[in-house]
Amino acid sequence: MTLEPHVQSRLEFLLRVVSKEIMHLQYADQQIFGNSLQLSDIEMLDQKPELALKLEAFASRFCRLQDTLGDKLLPTLLRALGEPDKALLINLDKAEKFGWLVSTEKWVELRQLRNQMIHEYIEEAPVLHNALITAHQNIETLTYFAERLEKEVSAVLNRGE
Give, for all 161 residues of the chain, the pLDDT tens digit.
678 899 999 999 999 999 999 999 999 999 999 888 999 999 999 999 999 999 999 999 999 999 999 999 999 999 999 999 899 999 999 999 999 999 999 999 999 998 888 875 667 899 999 999 999 999 999 999 999 999 999 999 998 65
Tell me which architecture the domain covering 5-159 has in CATH.
Up-down Bundle (1.20)
**Whole-angstrom distance, CA of residue 21 vs CA of residue 49:** 23
**Whole-angstrom distance, CA of residue 47 vs CA of residue 51:** 9
Cβ–Cβ < 8 Å for 84, 99: no
Cβ–Cβ < 8 Å for 51, 41: yes
pTM above 0.75, yes or no: yes
